[in-house]
Amino acid sequence: MERLLMKAQEIAYRFSLLVCGHADDADDAMQEALLKTYRHAAQIKEPEAFRTWLYRTVKNACLISRRRRVDEPVRMQSLDEVSVSADGSVQTMDVEDPGRRPDQLMENARLRHSLHRALQTLAPENRLIVFLREVEGLSTRDVAAVVGISEANVKTRLHRARLSLRQRLEAP
């Protein structure tokens, strides 16, 4: 159970940071979701449903937190930004490959920045669907269960989001 919760903590934090938009809210939502997971894990009948259930729990915790705060997150936190842990040590969320050339690093940074800007233009619910499907690799059925919409609606929103991203990324 401890190993499962450690893995769930990584997933829950990444997802809560995306949905909540603020690091403090993401921490609170992650902790709330992990507590609920610990209390109710035995009630999950199908092991393959655990991940979907965890995403749904994190999403609900973020929505409750957001209701307390009326403002929408101004921006998403970049995985490249430096964060400070509870003990005051500085941590980065992304490790650069030391084998890359400076021109490759610069091009990757430019692409990452362009993608981040393009993702910011998507509606929050579409950004969530893109994240779950493309980054986390969930199936359409699992995304539908997490977001609470039909599979057809997930496919439609994902298609529209991809078209919008492509259009923004190809624009000069």
Question: For residue 29, what is the domain's CATH number?
Answer: 1.10.1740
> In this structure, are 114 and 58 located in the same domain?
no
- Pick the last residue of a domain from 28, 51, 68: 68
pLDDT in tens, 122-141: 998 999 999 889 888 889 99
In the structure, what pLDDT confidence band is assigned to residue 64 with cuts at 50, 70 and 90?
confident
Q: Into how many domains does the chain fold?
A: 2
Higher pLDDT among residues 156 and 8, named by residue: 156
**How many Å apart are CA 93 and CA 14, to the nearest integer?**
10
Q: Specify the pLDDT at position 76.
A: 52
Indicate whether 159 belongs to any domain. Answer: yes
Q: Specify the pLDDT at position 38.
A: 79
For residue 121, the enclosing domain spans: 99-170
**How many Å apart are CA 141 and CA 35, to the nearest integer?**
25
> In this structure, are 103 and 161 located in the same domain?
yes
CATH of the domain at 158: 1.10.10.10
